[in-house]
Amino acid sequence: MGFYEYRATRIDGADQRMDAYAGQVVVVVNTASKCGFTPQFGELEALYKRYQAEGLMIIGFPCNQFSNQEPGTNEDIASFCDLTYGVTFPMFAKIEVNGPNTHPLYRFLKKEAKGTLGNTIKWNFTKFLIGRDGKVLKRFAPNVRPMEMEAAIVEALKAPYEQ
């Protein structure tokens, strides 16, 4: 299965198919609102606003598997993202990214782009860059700030989309 064959529940409870993002460059990131990396929301939103018209999509997946840094409800998370960082990119319902209850999309992402810990997500704000064709281009560690990904995003946006 490729990226476009997956689906997930948005933070408002709606079902979302990833093929809705076909032809776009997508950054998939697991998030948390009480993490040292939480300010990355601001840079993610800035990149989204800067490149959305060129085909960039950022999608966030809250996760509470790392030191209980995302304890709130989906409603709490949505409110926090909006009020604190003005997040306008799609946020999804809280998921697990490691272990037996790993969301199927994250099983796929981890298999396609292994990290320093192999087939495991190290921490909140691990980021995956997906090309217009749905292939995983690169994985970025949590300590890589979103603006440090800008060159890779711009390069991916230059790629033509062929259906």
Domain spans of the chain, in order of start = 3-158
According to the CATH classification, is domain 3-158 in 3.40.30.10? yes
Q: Which residues are catalytic?
A: 35
pTM: 0.94
End-to-end Cα spacing for the chain? 17
- Residue 59 confidence class, pLDDT cut points 50, 70, 90: very high
Question: In the predicted model, what is the mean pLDDT of the chain?
Answer: 92
CA atoms within 13 A on the CB side of 71: 4
Give the model confidence (pLDDT) of 94-136 as tens digits: 999 999 999 999 999 999 887 665 678 999 999 999 999 999 9
How far apart CA 4 and CA 34 sit, in angstroms, is 30
